[in-house]
Structure 1
Amino acid sequence: MGDIDLSNPPELYWHCAIKIGEKSPYAVVNDLSFSQLKKNIIDPWLSGRQFFVSGILVKKEKVSEIRIAYTPYTTEKYVNDYVQKSVQSGFCGSEDPHLIPLGMGTELTNELLSTETSVAPDPSISDTALVLQICQRIQYSARILSNRTRKGKTPFLIEDEYDVQDLLQAVLKAYLKYSVQEDTLPKVASTKSSRADISIENLGILIEVKYVRESGDQRRIFEEYSEDLELYSKWPYLKTIIFLIYNASILRDPEAFEKHSGPQERNGKRFNVKIVLS
Structure 2
Amino acid sequence: MPRHSKLDEAMKAGDYLEKFFDRVRMEKIERLVYEAKANSLSSNSDDANKVASLAHSFFQFSKKFENNSIPSSHPSPQKFISSVGLFYGWLKGVEEKFDNQFGDNILPQIEGALEAMEETLRIAGADTPSPSIIDILDKVISAKFARLASYMLQRRKETVNNVLSARETITIGDEYDVQDLYRAVLSMYCDTIVSEDYVPAFAGVKRSRVDLYVPEHQLFVEFKMTKADLGQKEVIGQLNEDRALYPSHPGCSFLYAFIFDPTRKIADPQAIHTAFDGINKTGGGREIKMKVFILQEPVAS
TM-score bucket (shorter structure): 0.5 to 0.7
Q: Where does residue 132 of structure 1 map in the other structure?
A: 138
- Bigger Rg over Cα: 1
The percentage of aligned residue pairs carrying the same residue is 20
1:144 counterpart = 2:151: yes
CA offsets 1:34-86 (integer angstroms, 9 cap, x no match): xxxxxxxxxx9894235978x86673324247387xxxxxxxxxxxxxxxxxx
**Larger relative contact order (C-alpha < 8 A, sep ≥ 6)?**
2
Aligned pairs for 1:1-278 within 5 A: 47-48=13-14, 49=17, 59-64=67-72, 66=75, 120=127, 123=130, 125=132, 127-133=133-139, 134-148=141-155, 150=157, 151-173=165-187, 175-182=188-195, 183-214=197-228, 217-255=231-269, 256-267=271-282, 268-278=286-296
Deviation for aligned residue 1:167: 0.8
Shift of 1:186: 2.4
**TM-score of the superposition, structure 1-length normalised?**
0.55
Cα distance change, pair 258–155 in 1 and its aligned pair in 2 (3 A): same
Contact 2:194 2:212 in 1 (8 A): yes
- Aligned to 1:272, what secondary structure does the other structure show? strand
Taking the aligned partners of 2:275 and 2:151, their CA distance within structure 1 comes to 31
**Deviation per CA, 1:155-210, whole angstroms, max 9, x where unpaired?**
4222221111111101111x314312223322224434522111222223221111
- Taking the aligned partners of 2:11 and 2:248, their CA distance within structure 1 comes to 41
Alignment partners' CA distance in 2, 1:170 and 1:61? 47
Aligned length: 188
* Secondary structure in 1 matching 2:143: helix
Question: Which letter maps to 1:275?
Answer: F
| Corresponding letter in the other structure for 1:130 | I
Shift of 1:264: 2.4
Of Structure 1 and Structure 2, which has the larger fraction of its residues in strand? 1
- 1:199-250, CA deviations, whole angstroms, 9 ceiling, x for partnerless residues? 2222232211112111653222111100101112223444432211123534
Provide the residue aligned with 1:104 in structure 2: none
Change (3 A) 1:216 1:170: closer
Instruction: Give the alignment's Cα RMSD to 1 decimal.
Output: 3.6
Query: Which residue identity lines up with residue 63 of structure 1 in the other structure?
Result: P
Residue type of the partner of 1:245?
Answer: I
Corresponding residue SS for 2:144:
helix
Letter aligned with residue 75 of structure 2: I
TM-score normalised by L of structure 2:
0.51
Contact 1:243–1:275 (Cα < 8 Å) also in 2: yes
What 5-or-longer segments of structure 1 have no aligned partner?
A: 1-43, 69-114
CA contact (8 A) 1:187 1:231 kept: yes
Read off the aligned partner of 2:274 and give its amino acid letter.
Answer: K
Distance in 2, matches of 1:228 and 1:144, equals 31
The code of the aligned residue for 1:145 comes to: M
- What SS does the corresponding residue of 1:66 show, helix, strand or coil? coil
Residue 121 of structure 1 and its aligned partner are, at CA, apart by 5.2
| Distance in 1, Cα, partners of 2:153 & 2:128 | 38
* Structure 2, unaligned runs of 5 or more: 1-9, 22-59, 80-123, 158-164, 297-301
Please state how far the C-alpha of 1:272 moved relative to its aligned partner.
Answer: 3.4
Counterparts of 2:251 and 2:12, CA distance in 1: 33
Amino acid in structure 2 at the alignment position of 1:172:
L
Q: Decide whether aligned partners of structure 1 residues 215 and 252 sit closer, same or farther in structure 2, where only a CA change above 3 A counts.
A: farther
SS at match of 2:145: helix
- Amino acid aligned to 2:71: V
